[in-house]
Structure 1
Amino acid sequence: MLHDGPIQQELALPFPELSGDQPLLPARMVNEYVYCARLAYLEWVQGEWADSADTVDGRRRHKRVDAGGKDVLPAPEDVTEDSRIHARSITLSSNRYGVIAKLDLIEADEGRVVPVDYKRGKRPHIAKAAYDPERVQLCLQGLLLQDQGYECTEGVLYFVESRERAPVPFDEELQQLALSALHGLRGIALGGRIPPPLDDSPKCPRCSLVSICLPDEVNYLRRGVTPPRAIAVGVSESMPVYVQANKAKVA
């Protein structure tokens, strides 16, 4: 995933432990928040969703991961230096953090557990082995394992297309970034005000919700500076159809 500069961190003010009537935040939504706060709001608060080729392909690849079977994750006290763990599709949650996540794979390494998160595409060869949204999501999985009593100090991102593993240590900086993003997403959800769209970002054209978010159109209405980018059509001889009537239907 692309990243437009440094992440703005929220104040590290933890929310109180969740009660039974408050929803747990999926770690995947925190990934979306780091990628784009407006996207996370549209999906989590407003319940918007639209498929794209990327989202469909991602689901297909995760189905293959889940098809490997669900092994039992041993209790924390049963994990030793000789333990061999290969537990797939394990769902963990924490009222302390207010998070829930489905872990693709959990392995063992000298008495520690290691979450492995599968990602479509190729590994980006950058300084931190991956972009912040994926690192934050993986770190939240590690915090969930720690909250359950397991020793967990790092995770692995597995990129399916290039078949590469990228180790991600859960250092203090990454943990603070993950918790900051978690609190930030909960804050905008409670505030009930949608964040502004990204400004001329390369993330937008491939986003599955671009036709719902309308980043260029909203920014143009707000400032009237840069006209919206043209709609890209799959067939070069074709032309896009613009439907402007309110509540219109095309058949």
Structure 2
Amino acid sequence: MALHALEYCERLFYLEEVEGIRIADQAVYDGRRLHEEIPEYVEMTSFTLQSDVLGIQGKVDVVRSMGGEWIPFEYKKGRANLTRDGKVRPWPSDEIQVAAYTLLLEEHFDRKISEAKVYYAQDHRTANVTINDALRNRVHAAVNRATDLRSSALRPPIATNERLCSRCSLAPVCLPEEERLIQSGKKEIPRYFPPDREGDVLHVSTHGSTIRRSGDSLLIENRDGDKTNVAIHSIQSIAVHGHVQVTTQAIHRCLSEGIPIHYLTGGGTYLGTVGNLAGGVQRRLRQYSAMVNGDFCLHLAKILAKAKIDSQLRYILRLTREKDRDALQDQIDQMRQAARKSSAAKDLNELRGWEGVTGKAYFSSLGHLTRNDGVLSINGRNRRPPRDPANAILSFLYSLLYKDCLQAIIVVGLDPCLGFYHQPRSSAYPLALDLMELFRVSLVDMVVLGSLHRQQWDITADFEFAGKQCWLSSSGRKKAIVLYERRKQDTWKHPVIGYSLSYDRAIELEVRLLEKEWAGVAGLFAQSRIR
């Protein structure tokens, strides 16, 4: 099967067989179902063979005795390759796969086999494959090429035949059309990246609750004995807030299903993640090679800082479109100057300086715009711990954003320890902090400011005070979670790529576009802006 993928597309082979990335889409499930329905012939079915000489192993669908000769059969769910004169031909990838099975059989039986067959279920046609020396040499050449690719840390280029990508299950990971957008400047591209996530984030924030496994569901029980069942297949990830217990059985099941469990304190501080982080060695080697290049890191940091500054400036301009801007003109001018100067920064320290100038002007502007909200106004940015309700909300939602950015990095297979802008001065992962900068305004600041203006918060019920410190209460956390998760499902159109997707999906997309920056396809990372 690996040779089948190699003949179809070398990038597909590398992603599946070297990096270990596999996605079972509907076509994959249909193929599995077809193989389960293969009739039990008198001859051998699902016959597994291995050759140390060839360096391959495989499971032949069916081996039949016909005319005194063993004939391997390969079953495919699709249509046969029909020539213009109506002859039935195997597709090249099917041909080399069944030829490889034939070579295994030849070694097993110690005799030459001259023919193999490929059955196509969709149009009930069978293609004959003549096994000759030329085809045998193709198999040997393919095995050698596969060996070479396995020893490389670099992904092969995308397929030149664009039609292959439309039928590939790994197109959402490969993002071939996004690469073609950069390479050829196409204005419109087919869309393979999913518009929204396939599961929900399960937040458990009631102190004293316990998460247990119950068959194919998770059972959440609080101190009062109230129980809630959530189907495991509907969960994308779990966020555990505060004093919540998760049983070993529940953790094991989540690990086996690829569901990460994120732990946060009751105040919203991120603590850590339990998840399956194995694999992705080649991806991390490529990432490391890029992150030790100081000039390259500065280049990425400038792109990132420019995107953040532009978003902050545009948001303030949007909020003041119908108002008198005179009171905020100094802050707006400072942000505009920082946007210009940041692109010419000579090092990361200078870049952070301009980002700091923007941040001070930005939160000063937000304070002016919320001055009539009383105790819930944004009076600058303070944290660790926050000292007022608005900053308590900001800190809590930034923690949720950090958690989602970290999860996207893990899903893509990069190392969150290796960032290009933030430095490892705390327990926080630098790459997750980098990625957060792209979404602070759109996923947090806009949510907080909107909720303040709509007076959605109850200063007595939603907040807890201890001296000069302020945190969200249990009801406040639940309210913030609902606002944040609802915002993540809002959709927007990417200004460069051209298709629409949810903010939830946009986080993962940016990680994949970041990876392309050091894979020779630069120009798409951090290009999105709020309108």
By the TM > 0.5 criterion, same fold?
yes
* 3-state SS of paired residue (1:184): helix
* 1:58 corresponds to: 31
Cα deviation digits, residues 37-80 of structure 1 (max 9, x gap): 00000000001011222111111111112xx45x7xxxxxxxxx
Q: Is the 8 A contact 2:88 2:125 kept in 1?
A: no
Cα deviation digits, residues 142-201 of structure 1 (max 9, x gap): 100111114411101111122222110111221111211121111111122210112461
* 1:39 corresponds to: 12
The verdict on how the C-alpha distance between 1:164 and 1:230 changes in structure 2, with shifts beyond 3 A counting, is closer
Map residues 27-176 of structure 1 onto 2, 5 A cutoff.
28-65=1-38, 68-69=39-40, 86-126=43-83, 129-148=89-108, 149-176=110-137
Q: Is the 8 A contact 1:112 1:150 kept in 2?
A: no
Q: CA deviation at 1:245?
A: 2.6
Residue from 158, 163, 180 that aligns with 1:202: 163
The verdict on how the C-alpha distance between 1:227 and 1:216 changes in structure 2, with shifts beyond 3 A counting, is farther
User: Which structure is higher in RCO with an 8 Å CA cutoff and minimum separation 6?
Assistant: 1
Q: Is the 8 A contact 2:62 2:74 kept in 1?
A: yes
Cα deviation digits, residues 197-237 of structure 1 (max 9, x gap): 1246111122110000011212334x362246142789xxx
Q: What is the rounded CA distance, in whole Å, between the counterparts of 2:190 and 2:71 in structure 1?
A: 44
Cα deviation digits, residues 85-130 of structure 1 (max 9, x gap): 6111100010000111100110112332100110112222136711
The size of the alignment, in residue pairs, is 201
2:162 corresponds to 1:213: no
Q: Is the 8 A contact 1:231 1:240 kept in 2?
A: no
2:452 corresponds to 1:190: no
* 3-state SS of paired residue (1:155): strand
Residue from 189, 192, 196 that aligns with 1:229: 189
Q: What is the rounded CA distance, in whole Å, between the counterparts of 1:240 and 1:150 in structure 2?
A: 57
Q: Is the 8 A contact 1:199 1:215 kept in 2?
A: no
* 1:17 corresponds to: none
Structure with greater helix percent: 2
Q: What is the rounded CA distance, in whole Å, between the counterparts of 1:247 and 1:226 in structure 2?
A: 19
The verdict on how the C-alpha distance between 1:191 and 1:128 changes in structure 2, with shifts beyond 3 A counting, is farther
* 1:15 corresponds to: none
Structure 2 unaligned segments of length 5 or more: list them: 196-490, 492-498, 511-531
Q: What is the rounded CA distance, in whole Å, between the counterparts of 1:43 and 1:143 in structure 2?
A: 23
The verdict on how the C-alpha distance between 1:91 and 1:137 changes in structure 2, with shifts beyond 3 A counting, is same
Structure 1 unaligned segments of length 5 or more: list them: 1-27, 72-84
Q: What is the rounded CA distance, in whole Å, between the counterparts of 2:144 and 2:128 in structure 1?
A: 25
The verdict on how the C-alpha distance between 1:169 and 1:230 changes in structure 2, with shifts beyond 3 A counting, is closer
Q: What is the rounded CA distance, in whole Å, between the counterparts of 2:27 and 2:153 in structure 1?
A: 29
The verdict on how the C-alpha distance between 1:246 and 1:206 changes in structure 2, with shifts beyond 3 A counting, is closer
Q: Is the 8 A contact 2:60 2:73 kept in 1?
A: yes
The verdict on how the C-alpha distance between 1:247 and 1:170 changes in structure 2, with shifts beyond 3 A counting, is closer
Larger radius of gyration: 2
The verdict on how the C-alpha distance between 1:50 and 1:107 changes in structure 2, with shifts beyond 3 A counting, is same
Counterpart code for 1:181? A
Q: CA deviation at 1:246?
A: 5.2
Question: Which TM-score applies when normalising by structure 2?
Answer: 0.35
